[in-house]
Amino acid sequence: MRGTVVGSEHYDSSGERKIGMVVRTAMQKLTVRLTCSLAGFVAVIALATAASAQSFFDDLYPGFFTLQEPPTLNLNFFGGGFISDKYGDLQEGLQFEQSVTPYIGAVGRITGYQLWEGEGFDNPLNPGTGHEARLNFVRFQGGADFALYPGTHLFILGGRDAADSHASTVEGDFSSWLFLHSLHPINFSFSAVHNYENGVTSSSIDLQAIVQSTRKWIFMAGGGGAIYGGGFISGVEGQGGPDLGVYYRPWNVGISVQAGYGAAHQYGQLSIYKQLTIFE
C-alpha cells in the first residue's frame, strides 16, 4: 500500500509539472500574440494619425515644398519720422523679399536712421558717453517671411548696425488681417526688436480698421503705441495714441500718422511707404 501511495504521489507531481509547463507555454504564446497585436494596432493608429496630420497640413498649406511659380520680388520703400520733447528721428529704407515657396520668402532690409537728442538727454545707443546733437547709423537685417495664413505674416530678422551704432539686433514682426470679407477688415500688427549693444527691447503694437474703402482709396483708423525696457531703462516705459492711415491703390502708396503721450511726453509720428511687386 505504501509503495502504491508513493507512486501515486510521484505520478501526481510529474503530472502537475507537465500541466504547469503546458500552461506557461500557452501563456507565453498568448503574450507574444497579444504583444504583436497591440504593436500592430499602435502602428495602424500611428499611420492613420500621421496620414491625418499630413492630410491636414496639405489642406492648410497645399504645395508647401514646391517653388512658387511665377517667382516674385517684392520691394517696399519706406520712410518717416518721430518727434517728441526728448528726442526725434528720421528713418528711411528699403525692404526686399524674394519668394521661395508660396509660404516662405527670403527678406532683406536696409534702414538709415538720423537721431536727434533733446537738451541734456544722454546717448541712448551707448549711455554714459555724453550728449551728442545728432547720431547717424545704418541697420542691415536679413531673415525670412512666413505666410502663416491668408493675410497673416511673420517676419524673423537678424542683423547689425554700422556707423554711430554697432549693435547686433534680432527682430520679429507679426501682421494679420482679420474679417477680410467684411466691410471693415481689421489689421493687428506687433513688432519687437532687441538691441544687444544697449540691452533694450522695444515693442510696438497697432490695431487699425478700414473705415472706408473705394476703388482708389482706403481709409483706416485705430490706435497703437510702444513699450520698451531693459538695459539703461529703469522699469518699463512707453507711449501710445490714436492713428489714422490712408492708402492710394493706383500707386500702392500709404501714409500713416499717430500722436499721443508717454515717457517721451507729447509725440507725433509719420510713416510713408510704397509697395512694388515684380513678377520674374
Do 94 and 135 reside in the same domain of the chain? yes
pLDDT in tens, 95-122: 999 999 999 999 999 999 998 876 544 5
Residue 248 CA to residue 215 CA, distance in Å, equals: 9
The pLDDT value given to residue 116: 81
Residues 144 and 77 in one domain: yes
pLDDT band at 62 (very low <50, low <70, confident <90, very high): confident
Going by C-alpha positions, the residue among 187, 181, 183 that lies closest to residue 152 is 187
70: preceding bond cis by omega (within 30 degrees): yes
Q: Nearest-5° angle of CA 164, CA 124, CA 263?
A: 145
- pLDDT single digits (tens) 182-198: 999 999 999 999 999 98
Number of H helices, E strands in the chain: 1, 12
Residue 6 has pLDDT above 50, yes or no: no
Q: In sequence order, what are the residues at sequence separation of 6 or more whose Cβ sits closer than 8 angstroms to the Cβ of residue 66?
A: 101, 102
For residue 41 the three cell numbers come to 494596432
Structural domain boundaries enclosing 43: 1-60
Domain shared by 214 and 146, yes or no: yes
Higher-confidence position of 264 and 171: 171
Which domain CATH number covers 79? 2.40.128.130
CA atoms within 13 A on the CB side of 137: 17
Rounded CA gap, 191 and 172, in Å?
6
pLDDT, tens digit, for every residue of 200-232? 999 999 999 999 999 999 999 999 999 999 888
| Chain position carrying cell 547686433 | 168
Amino acid symbol at 175:
S
Residue 67 lies in a domain: no
Instruction: Looking at the structure, tell me whether residues 54 and 141 fall in a common domain.
Output: no
Please enumerate in sequence order all residues whose Cβ is within 8 A of that of 115, keeping only pairs 6 or more positions apart, or say none. Answer: 87, 88, 89, 124, 125, 134, 135, 136, 137
- pLDDT given at position 2: 46
| Mean of all residue pLDDT scores within the chain | 83
What confidence tier does 52 reach under pLDDT thresholds 50, 70, 90?
low
Q: State which H helix or E strand residue 36 sits in.
A: helix 2-60
- State residue 1's pLDDT score: 47
106 and 42 part of one domain: no
Q: Distance from CA of residue 58 to its chain's centroid?
A: 21
* Mean pLDDT within 266-273: 94
Report the number of distinct structural domains present in the chain. 2
Kindly tell me if the per-residue pLDDT of 49 is higher than 90. no
45 and 183 in a common domain = no
Using CA of residue 209, residue 153, residue 198, residue 161, what is the dihedral sign?
Answer: negative
Q: Last residue of some domain: 60, 94, 110?
A: 60
Domain end residue (candidates: 38, 60, 82):
60
pLDDT of residue 206: 96
Residue type, 250: P
53/187 same-domain check: no
Of 17, 32, 60, which residue sits at a domain end?
60
pLDDT of 175: 96
For residue 278, which of 46, 19, 76 has the smallest C-alpha distance?
A: 76
* Cell digits of residue 184: 471693415
Show contacts of 127-130: CB within 8 Å, 24+ apart.
127/198, 127/231, 127/232
Instruction: Tell me the three state secondary structure of residue 174.
Output: strand
Q: Which of 25-39, 66-80, 196-210, 247-261 has the lowest mean pLDDT?
A: 25-39
Assigned C-alpha cell, 213: 474703402
Residues 135 and 245 in one domain: yes
Residues 215 and 80 occupy one common structural domain? yes
C-alpha cell at 167: 549693435
